[in-house]
Amino acid sequence: MPWRRRHQVSEATLEFLARLSAVEWFAHAGQPYKPETSFQVGSWAEAVSRASKGYWENRRLDASNDLSSAVHRIDRNRFHGHWNRIVAAVKKLTQPLVEAKAARVIEREHLSKEFVDCVHWDILSACLELEYSDIVPPEFFARLAKVYLAGHFPCGEFKEGGVPKLMVY
């Protein structure tokens, strides 16, 4: 795939953002979500608490670092020439979307800026996985994106029998 039109975001990212824009975020929070692959938490307070725990923050940061390291390893020229510009271009699209889509639940549940930052990191990182999906298959943040698209909030992870399960509200 030839490199995208002078650092604009990919069609895959635009399609993902359009899908996110079309759904009501957190509409199914508190309802069951794929019990075979997740663990349901009981409240917004618990979800936000779990999301701000060091393990989950580190897991998400590690996944993001894994992506940038893989892009760097596979295509150094593309990484050095484009990574920061792509991040900036994607942020311009994701920041206002996250703020608009999360506003209702933030007001209703009195959620903090930490919550918005967490959601924005997940959505931004899912977009970055899409931007580089031609060389690194989307994985971790693609799983989180499915949770957001289903109207839930991913807030942690644990292993059960060696298989990672998401904590979801």
Strand residue runs (E) in the chain: 38-40, 154-160, 163-168
Alpha-carbon span 90 to 61, nearest angstrom:
18
Domain map (residue ranges) of the chain: 46-168
Which of 8, 123, 128, 159 is CA-nearest to residue 65?
128
Over residues 119-152, the pLDDT tens digits come to 999 999 999 999 999 999 999 999 999 999 999 9
Determine how β-strand 154-160 pairs with β-strand 163-168: antiparallel
Which of 155, 169, 129, 135 is CA-nearest to residue 29?
169
DSSP H stretches of helix in the chain: 11-22, 44-51, 54-74, 76-109, 113-131, 140-149
Over residues 22-44, the pLDDT tens digits come to 999 999 999 999 878 899 999 99
**Can you read off the two tokens belonging to residue 50?**
């779990």
Q: Report yes or no on whether pTM surpasses 0.85.
A: yes
